[in-house]
Structure 1
Amino acid sequence: MQFSLTSILSTAVAAFTIFSAVQAAAIPAPVEIQKRAIRGINNYACKLTPTHPRPLLLVHGTTLTLDSWSTWAPLLIKEGYCVFGLTYGKYKDIPLLGGIAPIENNAQEVASFANQVLTRMNATQLDYIGHSQGGILGRYWIKYLDGAGKINRMIGVSPIQHGTTLSGITTFVSTLGILNPSQSLFDSVAPALYQMIVGSPFMQKLNAGGDTSPGVIHSNIATRYDEIVTPWETCYQDAPNVTNTLLQNLCLLALNEHITIINSKIALRWALNQLDPSTAKTANCLSGI
């Protein structure tokens, strides 16, 4: 069998792209992604109150799992929220990684879980915090599944609202004309990765008709040091009445990047302010929360 130089280069660069994408996604070391119980999460006996009248759903990012909320979830529960979450998007029995299956499938998993939460909690709406890919699954649920009217507040934490250039890697590969031929390699390992590239058919479908959904209060926080969702400004939604915030405008010294932003208590304080503006406290370098 003979191979052309173009096909060899295509395969090599595509493989490098996938490797870079997964490496850049900062997959935690095995010791870090061992299951850690989050006490109080998914507690259907939790009582909704006038102060916190809706369940709160946490949706993790690509290659991560529910355990990625081990910093935020306990603090949100302590604040009196009924907090729920799941690990979605396992693919082809690849161990430890969530969020890598086709995004449409991921959104359906989240939708099914959210509907279960609403039913069991006897609620008609929930509030939603999504990190990275998790920040757009609720939007897909609303627009293309059965989620219309079911989300009150949607908070994106470094959400991939408009796709990514992955620090310029996808732009470089596209310039060489070998981005599209590499899709089959993406699809064999983690289909969601290709779908999140800027300009992909999925991203075009997601944003068709506008960035926001009627009746939903949208907020987003980004970090200047995001190496996954690039440019970082693409975390924002372009629409009236959306709150778009840069972490470094809250604390110039915050060095959190795409993964560690969900460990930031500054970002958590900001998120709490979005959930309940009536109890807002200043989010800054001293936020503890």
Structure 2
Amino acid sequence: MLRVRLSVVLAAVVALLLPTASYAAPLPVPYSFLTSAVLAGLQPNADAPGTNIWTCKPTAAHPRPVVLVHGLTGNKATNWQTFGPLLKNNGYCVFALTYGVNKLAPTPLDQFGGVNRIEDSAVELKAFVNKVLAATGATQVDILGHSEGTVMPNYYAKFLGGAPKIKRYVSIAPLWHGTNPAGLDKLSTMGTPFGVTALLGQALDPFFASGPQLLAGSAFWAKMRSGGTPIVPGIEYTNIVTQYDELVQPYTSGIEPGMTNHVVQSYCPLDFSEHFQIVADPIAARIVLNALDPANRKPVPCQLVLPFLGTL
């Protein structure tokens, strides 16, 4: 009986001295976008691993929570199967929202975010950031966005008072000059102010309002680049682009003077990531970690990364 009691006391002392949380196994980090996104899409309204742990408190090493902002038609789970666990494993408090969902869409179409007007989605982000700051006790967040998620937070920063609440702003596959797939930006010069782009926007507004806004030459970009630049003073911007981006055309739309710009192929010519795989790319991942924590930069690796499939 005495031995049993002593073992219980000893176990309790060990638990106090060596908290179980410090021995938690790292979360698996997949580096294949297609596989992980499809699997995540089978779980409606799920959180990506490592994200939205509302009891998480920032540390001295990482004092700001990271808010993940998905791309067009993505959501908080499908877009962040790589960066949710990666950032959590590296000691960050990580939060992700799904924004811009068509409220009339039935399930499963209600799992596709980013389709509403960017201005309306920015209002959703503002509320989410406030919720994160209240839960964590932090005064600022860092933003990690992909595709449309590299644009919408800047509207919040520039026009909705978000600038003081953002320190670092890291963009994967950004489009600071809009995108011009198949020459669609030429529509903006046909006949009316902002031309067919404006008419297209009116037609798609109930279903896909953000799509025409992202085209080069749209009224949205005229406003975002008012003053000659989208840069908001006080925010540290980092862009990560790929030469094989099939949706941001040209890919150099994601390169902006006054920001820190990275092309993944300049680090690794074996990286064939396109618009989607770059958000699950180990090369881009190291650039992101270095941008969020520049005092502890590590070398960027180089390995074969296939389009959509990533590392095998």
> Shared topology, TM-score over 0.5?
yes
Partner of 1:60: 70
Change (3 A) 1:79 1:205: same
Between stretches 68-77 and 278-287, larger displacement belongs to 278-287
Partner of 1:49: 59
Residue identity opposite 1:79 in structure 2: N
Partner of 2:12: none
Q: Structure 2 CA distance, aligned partners of 1:45 and 1:156?
A: 26
User: Is 2:108 the counterpart of 1:91?
Assistant: no
Q: Secondary structure at the match of 2:151?
A: helix
Partner of 1:34: 42
User: Is 2:291 the counterpart of 1:274?
Assistant: yes
Q: Structure 1 CA distance, aligned partners of 2:90 and 2:148?
A: 25
Q: Structure 1 CA distance, aligned partners of 2:304 and 2:233?
A: 32
User: Is 2:92 the counterpart of 1:70?
Assistant: no
Structure 1 residue 139: Cα displacement: 1.1
Structure 1 residue 198: Cα displacement: 0.4
Q: 2:232 aligns with which of 200, 213, 218?
A: 213
CA contact (8 A) 1:165 1:231 kept: yes
Partner of 1:184: 202
1:105-120 alignment, distance < 5 Å: 105-120=120-135
Q: 2:261 aligns with which of 244, 249, 259?
A: 244
Partner of 2:10: none
Partner of 1:3: none
Equivalent pairs counted in the alignment come to 259
Between stretches 122-131 and 180-189, larger displacement belongs to 180-189
Q: Structure 2 CA distance, aligned partners of 1:122 and 1:32?
A: 30
CA contact (8 A) 2:49 2:81 kept: no
Residue identity opposite 1:279 in structure 2: N
Q: Structure 2 CA distance, aligned partners of 1:38 and 1:56?
A: 14
CA contact (8 A) 1:153 1:218 kept: yes
Q: Structure 1 CA distance, aligned partners of 2:186 and 2:222?
A: 20
Between stretches 175-184 and 222-231, larger displacement belongs to 175-184
Structure 1 residue 213: Cα displacement: 1.2
Partner of 2:246: 227
Q: Give the RMSD, CA atoms, in angstroms.
A: 2.2
Q: Structure 2 CA distance, aligned partners of 1:134 and 1:179?
A: 21
Q: Secondary structure at the match of 1:133?
A: helix
Q: Write out per-residue CA displacement over residues 21-74 of structure 1, whole angstroms, 9 at most, x where no aligned residue.
A: xxxxx9x99666222543331112212111101111110000111111011110
Partner of 2:162: 147
Q: Structure 1 CA distance, aligned partners of 2:94 and 2:138?
A: 13
1:126-165 alignment, distance < 5 Å: 126-165=141-180
Q: Structure 1 CA distance, aligned partners of 2:134 and 2:197?
A: 43
Q: Secondary structure at the match of 1:149?
A: helix
Q: Structure 2 CA distance, aligned partners of 1:31 and 1:53?
A: 32
CA contact (8 A) 2:241 2:254 kept: yes
Q: Secondary structure at the match of 1:244?
A: strand
Residue identity opposite 2:271 in structure 1: A
Q: Structure 2 CA distance, aligned partners of 1:93 and 1:125?
A: 34
CA contact (8 A) 2:246 2:275 kept: yes
Structure 2: unaligned runs, 5 residues or longer = 1-33, 306-312
Q: Secondary structure at the match of 2:299?
A: coil
Q: Structure 1 CA distance, aligned partners of 2:151 and 2:101?
A: 17
Q: 2:138 aligns with which of 123, 126, 131?
A: 123
CA contact (8 A) 1:266 1:287 kept: no
Structure 1 residue 93: Cα displacement: 2.6
Change (3 A) 1:124 1:199: same
Structure 1 residue 176: Cα displacement: 7.1
Partner of 2:211: 193
User: Is 2:115 the counterpart of 1:100?
Assistant: yes
Q: Structure 2 CA distance, aligned partners of 1:130 and 1:144?
A: 18
User: Is 2:90 the counterpart of 1:79?
Assistant: yes
Structure 1 residue 109: Cα displacement: 0.6
